Amino acid sequence: GSAMAAVRDVEIDPEGTFKYILVRLQRPGGGEQRDIVRGTKAAEFHNHIFEKVNPEMEKLGYECKCLGGGKIDHNSKDKKIRVFGLSTGYGIADHSVTVEILKKEYTDYEITWSDDKK
């Protein structure tokens, strides 16, 4: 379990609006699994994020599955995060799950989500 513990729940840009994906990590053959959130302005498309995460996780011995995507609006000044939108390629992530994961990392933030496109 230590390798999985070394994987951070959340890696997102500290500020701005950007694409994100929800990724499920799993040990081959079942066993432990967990979901992680990854998002960055550097990614023009959602699959760019997945293409970066996937090899990193495979090195650690995990299978990755993208559960969907959306956008994150991160306002670090006001300590607010809004999760919304969807991914054309991967479909919509369960934003409520994303919010729960974000709350673990950003404990003093106000975090909301909606199915709005913008």
Is 95 annotated as catalytic? Answer: no
59 is in an annotated binding site: no
Tokens linked to 34: 């967990």
Q: Which residues does the annotation place in the binding site?
A: 19
Q: Which residues does the annotation place in the binding site for substrate?
A: 19
Catalytic residue set: 46
